[in-house]
Amino acid sequence: MLRPNRRGGAVAASAFPSDLGGGEPLIVVRDLRRTYAVGPDRVAALAGVSVTVERGAFIAVMGPSGSGKSTFMNVLGCLDRPDGGEYRLDGEDVGHADPDSLAAVRNRKIGFVFQSFHLLPRLTARANVELPMVYGGIPRAERVRRAAAALEAVGLGDRWHHRPAQLSGGQQQRVAIARALVNRPLLLLADEPTGALDSRTTREIMELLRDLNRGGLTIVLVTHEAEVAAYAGRVLTFRDGRLAGDAPPADAAGAAVPG
């Protein structure tokens, strides 16, 4: 197993305001394990993974299906709890927290972007962006203001009243990114965010993410595509529930071929 490489995010992290308070890396994972019961068998989706992610890093996660990368993302996103090992997010032990605390962590510290966008079809773009703030208990007037600002930031300020069906795929993903950012999270988790988009739109979305990262946001992104991974400063490659590679994109692309 390779030694964690901190080169990718270290420079940007110093520019990120929230870094001023916390000296600890944003994500510290030690010997993370997660086992599922499949019929009578027990399958180790994560068989001891240790990673540290500095504040302001841009990480790509790659690996074949069944390699454990989805489980890793679910644990990072506090949607799943590990049954072994340690996970500290922003200095807080979230590996053993109760469901309501995890809900609060997801709400305040993590933004999610999905391959299939996951917008609610009956809500306008702005109402979709407001959702995390609804669960964060933010008053309505402020929600409207912040949602409008977030849509403005992703270049959709004039489309706030459109419903998802009236928007293109790229626009829908921008709405989803605005929603992920509106509670000012420390960490953006993106699960194949460009998997449903054409190459031109993919470039636009990745440039948007790169700009956000340059602004100081920590991003962890799952992808199958080398061009997408190329935007990251560091690529984690998973195989059989373990971390099989941890290198800058150029090295990872070369390493992935022989497998």
Partner 1 sequence: MSPAESVRTALEALRANPLRSALTMLGMVIGVAAVIAMVAVGAGARDQVLRQIASLGTNLIMVGQGSVQRGAVRLGAGTAASLTEDDAAAIVREIPGVAAVAPSVRWGLQVVAGNQNWNTTLFGITPDYLEARDWTVTAGRPISDDDVVRGGKVVLLGETVVRTLFGGGDPVGETVRMFTTPLTVIGVLGGKGQNAGGQDQDDVVFVPLSTAKRNIPGMAKTNPRFVHSLVVKMGDGADMAAAQAQIRDLLRQRHRLAEGADDDFWMRDLSEIAATRDASSRALSFLLAAVAAVSLLVGGIGIMNIMLVSVTERTREIGLRLALGARRRDILVQFLIESATLSVIGACAGVALGIGVAVAVAGMAGWPALIVPEAVLLAVGVSGAVGVFFGLYPARRAARLDPIEALRHE
Q: What are phi and psi of 189, to 5 degrees?
A: -105, 120
Query: Which candidate, 251, 226, 221, 196, places its Cα nearest to that of 58?
Result: 221
161, 142, 150: which is closest to 208 by C-alpha?
150
Token look-up 């195989």 returns 239
* Residue 144 interacting with partner 1 (CB under 8 A): no
C-alpha of 21 from chain center: 22
Q: By CB under 8 A, is residue 97 in contact with partner 1?
A: no
Interface pick for partner 1 out of 96, 122, 184, 224 (rule CB under 8 A) = 122
* Beta partners for residue 37, in sequence order: 42
The answer to whether 107 contacts partner 1 (rule: CB under 8 A) is yes
Can residue 112 be called a binding residue for partner 1 (CB under 8 A)?
A: yes
Q: Is 33 in the site for partner 1 (CB under 8 A)?
A: no
Q: Which of 97, 103, 226, 255 touches partner 1 (CB under 8 A)? A: 103
| By CB under 8 A, residue 67 contacts partner 1 | no
**CA angle (187 as vertex; 10, 115 as ends), nearest 5:** 120
Q: How far is the CB of 196 from partner 1 (least distance, A)?
A: 14
74 contacts partner 1 (rule: CB under 8 A): yes
DSSP letter for 26, please.
Answer: S
Candidate ranges 54-62, 72-80, 84-92, 216-224; the one touching partner 1 (CB under 8 A)? 72-80
User: Which two three-digit tokens encode residue 157?
Assistant: 């300020």
Residues that bind partner 1 (CB under 8 A): 74, 77, 79-80, 99-100, 103-104, 106-108, 112, 114, 118, 120, 122-123, 131-132, 134-137, 179, 183
